[in-house]
Structure 1
Amino acid sequence: MKLTRKLFFLFLLLLPTQLGIHYWPSFALVLGRRIDYLSPTVYLSDILLLLTSATLVIATKKEKLFAILKMRWLLILLAFLTINVLFAQQFNLAFLGAVRLVEMGLVIILIKNLKLKLGDVLVPLSLSTLYVTLLAALQFFQQSSLQGIWYFLGERRFLASTPGISLITVSRGLLLRSYSTFSHPNVLAGFCTVVFFLLLIWQTQTKIEYVLKRISLLATGVGIFLSFSRSAWVVVIALGLFAYVRKTRVQLTSYLLIVSGFVVTAGLVWQRFTTLLTVDAISITERQKLMSEAFRLFAYSPIFGVGFLNFIPAIVAASAPPYIMQPVHSLYILVLSETGLLGFGLLASLLFTTLRQALSARRHLLLPIVAVLLLGMVDHYFLTQPQTRLLIAVVLGLLFI
């Protein structure tokens, strides 16, 4: 088990990276255009996860392996995945989506069988946030990607002038939002937000852990700020204040340190703060169109949905140009359209079980769980991006250990 623990530590340490090999079969192209969401990609984190799982299998007795395979939630998941793949519009895409969900199951099984505690998980995750936010800060000050050694952590090449790059409006013009090792600044924000709330509830046991926690709290705060994700800002501030009022086990000084940093640096990007409740007209139109298309797909296949990862090709096949080749900006509506009432019902059951478990036995994990639920209302990356998807699995593993 020692090797398994070490490999899982490395997996968590490199979880934010997106170094991988992309493959582009015909089903990953829509109208001849490559779609990242649909590309079968072998990430470094995938390899580490498979190696970790293999060592667990080798080190586990046959009787215990059979017990794992007979777990009710695992059997339900496999049955649901099989049904979704068989009824999907495009089998290959749905199968790829099913594999990604199986990976989440592997993470949960590993945490449960290794009997990992919050500190065991947060040490590598804390270290990962340090290099992630360092890169985010360097990108912001340089207003471009850095490449070099950062390439091997999965940093993509871009400039502030790159078409389609995410920018913010400030008094002096436009500034690049930090991407770090993620595909979009919002994904950076989501990852840092979940780790931030995990850090807040971490009861450190040693002085080294205490120092690491403080530094990592500051680092995640920097990452959230430099992402300029308004939804993440609102969630961090609102949940932090709520936790203090409700006297959750959160250290007020740690929280105030981060919020103070937000306030002090707000002058640079004041316009971003003053438009918290506004979104540009183009963005609103796109979101409304995607929402409308999602419900149309649901009406077309209300029981089973169109299949995992089938959202983009399905809306292109069913609608007229111009096409918006991205998933709908809501985790819940994306699940509804791709998996139908069957998948949405399972998601609702999972959410109910998760909240019940958190309220009864793992109350301290409510903060990161609620953060995911709130951010999932306005974006899809907790389901579509590997780093945040596997991070959810880590939280679920800690919850049901």
Structure 2
Amino acid sequence: FAYVRAHYQVYPLRFIAGALVAGGLIQATIALGQTIMQHDLGLRLFGESPLSPTTAGVAKIDTVNGKLIRAYGTFPHPNVLGAYLVTALLSAYYVFVRYAERSRVAGLVLIGILVFGLISTYSRLSIAMWAASSAFFLVYCIVARREPTTGEMRIRLRSQAILLGCTLIGLFIGVFTTNAVLFSRIQPGALEETVSLRAQYNQVGAAAWLEAPVLGVGIGNIIPYFEQRYDSYDYPAWVFQPPHNLYVLIAAETGTVGLVVFIALLGLVALRCIVGLRQHRGSDSVISVVLFVSFLVLAFFDHYFWTLQQGRLLWWLVIGLCCASPLVTTFPRASNK
């Protein structure tokens, strides 16, 4: 967060977006390889987890042909990979719309790889947020009237956005009409089990907060609390997980004090976003805001922004972008004249 905010003028959004896209392409390629091979690719040196349909603890989907592993990339869980690929995709949209006039085909191919990498995670929420955030970003690029460019440039940006939107719609329809496994993941039966389990985790978090409402049970102590509370039930180890709601988890581990501070921080970031949109209503500001809102929604349904290093890095990267962008647009560099 501090580095991104302090060095935004040295490493502007196009540089950061390009790095995210490059990393996303690597992760998407690994994810597709894992999906095709149905086991890990032996990339232990890069943090890849041991994967196979028979390995305990690996995220799998039951199909008529047996168990299908969800792609991990080199991340600790498919949902975290999904969040990263959503970030990479939105970054790719920004690069494509602003800078890919002479390499449209290559840009669309790379975006397609990222999309199929995201699909291979079978992360329902990440895929839903990708669809929603893509729609918002593209509609903004097409209808916005205050993009800080010339008339000719504005027409080019809109044509790029329309081309990208048509491609994404085709990909979205094609994937959902041909991928029976993905379609089965959004059926009521599959959703009911997930919602029920996550509701139980959130109830444990609420109980922990009620026992220590001011300062919480301590950072990192929710799992020991969970194990102690249900010690007599003889549950398998994988059952003991944090609440799948970032805000409930923060309240449980840091109490009301920590939750109020966290919400105040989000409020300050939101104000920065509003300043950025008012001062510079361009795709540079919008991409950071869309990522921020997407992460706020994802945080209602998972815990990795708090509990996993990769999730924390993603979270603070986006917060840093949101806080840095308004400063750059509101306080430009002084002239040497």
Residue 353 in structure 1 maps to residue 268 in structure 2: yes
Structure 2: distance between partners of 1:252 and 1:308: 46
Change (3 A) 1:269 1:205: closer
Residue 328 in structure 1 maps to residue 243 in structure 2: yes
- Output the amino acid matched with 1:342: V
Residue 119 in structure 1 maps to residue 14 in structure 2: yes
Residue 261 in structure 1 maps to residue 156 in structure 2: no
TM-score by length of 2: 0.78
Query: Comparing 328-337 with 268-277, which one deviates more in the overlay?
Result: 268-277
Structure 2 residue aligned with 1:143: 38
Structure 2: distance between partners of 1:335 and 1:370: 18
- Output the amino acid matched with 1:346: V
Q: Is the 8 A contact 1:330 1:376 kept in 2?
A: yes
Q: Which residue, 107, 111, 114 being the options, matches 1:217?
A: 111
Deviation at 1:162, TM superposition (A): 1.2
Deviation at 1:200, TM superposition (A): 2.2
Which consecutive unaligned segments of at least 5 residues does structure 1 have? 1-107
Q: Is the 8 A contact 2:4 2:321 kept in 1?
A: yes
Structure 1 residue aligned with 2:26: 131
Change (3 A) 1:334 1:209: farther
TM-score by length of 1: 0.66
Change (3 A) 1:113 1:172: same
Deviation at 1:204, TM superposition (A): 4.2
Q: Deviations over 1:189-223 (max 9, x none)?
A: 11111222233234645779978754543332122
Query: Comparing 218-227 with 334-343, which one deviates more in the overlay?
Result: 218-227
Q: Deviations over 1:359-381 (max 9, x none)?
A: 22154121111111111111111
Structure 2 residue aligned with 1:4: none
Aligned-residue RMSD, C-alpha = 2.6
Deviation at 1:275, TM superposition (A): 4.4
Output aligned runs, 1:1-400, within 5 Å.
108-114=1-7, 115=9, 116-147=11-42, 150-202=43-95, 204-205=98-99, 214-246=108-140, 247=143, 251-276=161-186, 278=188, 279=190, 282-320=193-231, 321-323=233-235, 324-362=239-277, 363-364=285-286, 365-400=288-323
- Output the amino acid matched with 1:179: Y
Q: Is the 8 A contact 2:289 2:322 kept in 1?
A: no
Structure 1: distance between partners of 2:101 and 2:179: 36
**Equivalent residues, number:** 292
Question: Secondary structure at 1:242's aligned position in 2?
Answer: helix
Change (3 A) 1:206 1:213: closer
Question: Secondary structure at 1:156's aligned position in 2?
Answer: coil
Structure 2 residue aligned with 1:18: none
Q: Deviations over 1:171-195 (max 9, x none)?
A: 5443221111111111111111122
- Output the amino acid matched with 1:351: L
Structure 1: distance between partners of 2:114 and 2:64: 26
Which consecutive unaligned segments of at least 5 residues does structure 2 have? 148-157, 278-284, 325-337
Change (3 A) 1:175 1:281: same
Change (3 A) 1:169 1:208: farther
Structure 1: distance between partners of 2:192 and 2:19: 41
- Output the amino acid matched with 2:256: L
Deviation at 1:322, TM superposition (A): 4.1
Structure 2: distance between partners of 1:280 and 1:231: 11
Deviation at 1:263, TM superposition (A): 2.3
Structure 2 residue aligned with 1:102: none
Change (3 A) 1:254 1:152: farther
Deviation at 1:244, TM superposition (A): 3.8
Question: Secondary structure at 1:309's aligned position in 2?
Answer: coil
Structure 2: distance between partners of 1:347 and 1:188: 24
Deviation at 1:262, TM superposition (A): 3.2
Q: Is the 8 A contact 2:72 2:78 kept in 1?
A: yes
Question: Secondary structure at 2:179's aligned position in 1?
Answer: helix
Structure 1: distance between partners of 2:240 and 2:91: 33
Structure 2: distance between partners of 1:376 and 1:255: 27
